[in-house]
């Protein structure tokens, strides 16, 4: 059990959640989100996404700035507390073929429940998005920044930069908004010979798939 918990911990270090905020919320608007999915790995003869499950809340601080916070339940099942906190600012709104543009800064933190292990990953992201009828299409290049000096089992970390790119869509349905994200991350890192084997068509990085559902629980006052 402990070995598998460490496996999950390593997998978390290559990206835990889909793109949190595509378009800033209106001032005073609040949303609740559920996310499911993660990096695709080879495990027990199967090719499966790690079943990361997260509940998050987004709140419009101003018309251009949104705050977010998430709690990671899969991590809790393996005796780790994990949260993320973020700020997302809209720089451009979409106009014709010109996309909207949102910049994000997020802090991802993981603390073992019963031993002193602690990890902190800053994350930066830039999201370009287009309105297509009622749906939203987007592309998000971003980076995770590794602050720890070693992985599990004391293996040294030689590369602190983990770039990624995400493409996806947000599809409205009645009072809900459903999302599908595909992410390719850590493309500058070899993925062979590790505790986790990431399933990708290349020998570097990891591919991930994420599903999300979002509901507005408080509209603009």
What pLDDT, on the 0 to 100 scale, is given for residue 159? 75
* Residue carrying the six token digits 């080879």: 42
What pLDDT, on the 0 to 100 scale, is given for residue 146? 81
What pLDDT, on the 0 to 100 scale, is given for residue 60? 97
Cβ-proximal residues to 21 (8 Å cutoff; 6+ apart), any chain: 58, 66, 68, 86, 88, 102, 104, 127
What pLDDT, on the 0 to 100 scale, is given for residue 122? 94
Count of domains in the chain? 1
What pLDDT, on the 0 to 100 scale, is given for residue 37? 86
Range of the domain at 45: 2-218
What pLDDT, on the 0 to 100 scale, is given for residue 155? 67
Average pLDDT, the chain: 84
Contact 140, 123 (CB under 8 A): no
For residue 105, give both structure tokens: 């800064």
What pLDDT, on the 0 to 100 scale, is given for residue 1? 43
pLDDT at 39 over 60: yes
CATH code at 35? Answer: 2.40.160
Give the model's confidence band at 2: pLDDT under 50 very low, under 70 low, under 90 confident, else very high: very low
Cβ-proximal residues to 7 (8 Å cutoff; 6+ apart), any chain: 195, 196
What pLDDT, on the 0 to 100 scale, is given for residue 181? 95
What pLDDT, on the 0 to 100 scale, is given for residue 197? 63
DSSP state for residue 28 in the 8-state scheme? T
* Long-range residue pairs from 105-108, CB within 8 A, at least 24 positions apart, any chain: 106/20, 106/68, 108/16, 108/82, 108/83, 108/84, 108/144
What pLDDT, on the 0 to 100 scale, is given for residue 218? 84
Q: How many residues are there in the chain? A: 221
User: Among 65-74, 75-84, 145-154, which is the least confidently predicted range?
Assistant: 145-154
Of the two residues 63 and 221, the one the predictor is more confident about is 63
- Select from 91, 94, 92, 85 the least CA-distant residue to 59: 85
How far CA 142 is from CA of 5, 8, 119, 185, in Å, comes to 26, 22, 19, 9
Read off the pTM: 0.87
What pLDDT, on the 0 to 100 scale, is given for residue 83? 92
Of the two residues 41 and 179, the one the predictor is more confident about is 179
37 pairs with which residues across the strands?
210
Q: What average pLDDT score do residues 56-64 get?
A: 97
- Give dist(CA 179, CA 162) in Å, integer: 24
What pLDDT, on the 0 to 100 scale, is given for residue 104? 97
């Amino acid at each position: 059990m402990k070995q598998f918990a460490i496996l999950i911990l390593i997998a978390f270090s290559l990206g835990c959640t889909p793109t949190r905020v595509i378009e800033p919320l209106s001032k005073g608007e609040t949303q609740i989100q559920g996310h499911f999915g993660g990096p695709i790995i080879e495990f027990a003869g199967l090719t499966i996404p790690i079943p990361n499950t997260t509940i998050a809340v987004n709140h419009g601080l101003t018309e251009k700035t949104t705050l977010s916070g998430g709690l990671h339940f899969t991590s809790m099942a393996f005796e780790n507390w994990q949260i993320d906190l973020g700020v997302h600012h809209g720089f451009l709104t979409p106009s014709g073929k010109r996309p909207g543009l949102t910049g994000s800064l997020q802090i991802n933190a993981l603390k073992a429940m019963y031993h002193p292990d602690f990890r902190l990953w800053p994350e930066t992201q830039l999201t370009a998005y287009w309105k297509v009828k009622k749906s939203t299409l987007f592309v998000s290049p971003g980076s995770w920044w590794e602050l720890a000096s070693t992985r599990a089992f004391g293996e040294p970390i030689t590369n602190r930069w983990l770039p990624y790119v995400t493409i996806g869509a947000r599809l409205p349905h009645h009072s809900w908004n459903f999302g599908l994200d595909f992410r390719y991350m850590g493309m500058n890192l070899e993925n062979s010979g590790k505790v986790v084997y990431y399933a990708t068509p290349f020998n570097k990085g990891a591919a991930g798939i994420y599903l999300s559902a979002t509901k507005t629980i408080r509209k603009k006052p």
